[in-house]
Amino acid sequence: MKNILKAALIPAMCVSLYGQVFGRIQGTVTTTDGTPVAGAEVELARLDITWVKKIKADAKGAFMQVGLEPKNFKVTVTAPGMAPTEDQIKIPMNDVVIKHFILRTPKEARAEAPKGTEAVAPTPAELKASSGSAALVTALEAYNQQKFAEALPGLEKAVADLNESATTMPEGDARKVLTTQIATAERVYGLTLVEVGKEEPARPELTLKAEPYLAAAYKNNPKDVRYVNGLIEVAKAKHDAEGAKKYQAEADAIIGPRPELAFNEASTAWNAGKADKAMEGVKKAMAMDPKFPDSYYLLGLLELNKGDVKAAKAAWHKYLELAPTGRKAGEVKGYLKELQ
């Protein structure tokens, strides 16, 4: 029996925020005589949004950046004592761009530069927008991997820097992009605060901090169950039973009868050693759909955990009746054989 229970850890399903087919850029940075420029900084900036990524060339002057969206970028290459150079590229979908950059000394650059051209320094608002955008991109990568604690600092910086930029950013296309980024950063920040709050139950202030961000996201999209579920957690943290009941009813109305979600909650509780909560989830799933086979698989484990072998065998026989070739059928048959 112990062997059965130890083996029965059930993976829960998850959905990432978005999917993408990425490309990459790689190349070298050298001087005019071909000497590698070790440590040269290669800055990639999206042309459609405020997004910046900086990478360093290695000892051989080589650089590479993966995971780039198939968009247009401005590439700026700099190194101490050398004049900067830049170019524009388009990253192909699921492919590589190879670029070799040559850095010149200031004297060499002056000899080749057109007369009357001057570089324009970015404004403080543009700098904050750039740092906030970069922090957001990095944080979203962690969020989509469900590394919520890792994503949280980046999201905090993104929200702070983007909002600070918005206070002085003039009207125009850049301001429109910034507004969209702020909305994304704040709603993902709210969701992440809730997830980290779940991971750290001793810090309910994290969940409470999420409320204004989730409330704004919910107002803009009341049919997105992620925000509704987040507000359920906020209500629980506030000990607001009526609020939790209200949002739960809304979540149920959006989702409809989804026994697999209740089963996922039950399996998560089981894996965490919370058998009573797991049983509640199983019963909820069975009430939604008495013919959902996975419920009987987990019910068998729960009954066996209580020492009721007869009930466990009955649950597993029911599973085989509903899903004789199901994904757990072989495992269930093995359990029943062991209990004979």
- Mean per-residue pLDDT for 243-258? 84
pTM: 0.49
CA end-to-end span of the chain? 11
Q: Give the pLDDT of residue 95.
A: 81
Q: Give the model's pLDDT for residue 5.
A: 58
Q: Looking at the structure, tell me whether residues 205 and 230 fall in a common domain.
A: yes
Side chain identity at residue 58, one-letter code? D
Domain total of the chain: 3
Q: Is the pLDDT of residue 3 over 70?
A: no
Last residue of one domain, picked from the residues 255, 284, 307 = 255
Q: Which of 224, 255, 286 is the last residue of a domain?
A: 255
* 245, 230: one domain: yes
Q: Which pLDDT score, from 0 to 100, does residue 195 have?
A: 95
89 and 147 fall within a common domain: no
pLDDT of residue 248: 87
Identify the weakest region by mean pLDDT among 78-87, 109-118, 281-290, 331-340. 109-118
Residues 190, 311, single domain; the answer is no
Q: What is the pLDDT of residue 20?
A: 46
- Where in the sequence is the domain holding 301, given as residue range(s)? 257-339
Condensed to tens digits (0 to 9), the pLDDT of residues 29-73 reads 999 888 999 999 999 999 888 888 999 999 999 999 988 888 899
pLDDT by residue (tens digit) across 6-19?
A: 555 665 443 333 34
CATH number of domain containing 207: 1.25.40.10
Residue 17, in any domain of the structure: no
pLDDT of residue 7: 55
As a residue count, the chain comes to: 340
Residues 94 and 39 occupy one common structural domain: yes
pLDDT of residue 17: 38
pLDDT of residue 38: 93
Which CB contacts under 8 angstroms, 24+ apart, belong to 89-93? 89/25, 91/23, 91/24, 91/25, 92/23, 93/21, 93/23
Q: List CB contacts of 297: < 8 A, sequence separation 6 or more.
A: 315, 316, 319, 328, 331, 332
* Residue that terminates a domain, selected from 226, 255, 284: 255
State the Cα–Cα distance between residues 233 and 48, nearest whole angstrom.
36
- pLDDT bin (cut points 50, 70, 90) of residue 227 is very high
For residues 151 and 249, membership in a common domain is answered with yes
Amino acid 9: pLDDT: 60
Query: What is the average pLDDT score of the chain?
Result: 87
Q: Categorize the per-residue pLDDT at 113 as very low, low, confident or very high, splitting at 50, 70 and 90.
A: low
Range in 165-174, 225-234, 294-303, 322-331 with the lowest mean pLDDT:
165-174
- Six-digit token pair at 135? 């922090």
Same-domain check for residues 175 and 79 = no
Q: Greater confidence, 170 or 120?
A: 170
Do 241 and 261 lie in a common domain? no
What CATH number does the domain containing 42 carry? 2.60.40.1120
Other beta carbons less than 10 A from residue 84's beta carbon = 16
Q: Picking from 186-195, 250-259, 327-336, which range would have the lowest pLDDT averaged per residue?
A: 250-259
Amino acid 220: pLDDT: 93
Virtual torsion, Cα 154, 160, 164, 166, nearest 10 deg: 80
112-141: average pLDDT: 76
pLDDT for 16 equals 37
Domain for residue 182, yes or no? yes
* 237 confidence band (pLDDT: 50, 70, 90): very high
Which pLDDT does position 117 carry in this prediction?
A: 47
pLDDT band at 1 (very low <50, low <70, confident <90, very high): low
Cα–Cα distance for residue pair 266/263, rounded to 1 Å: 5
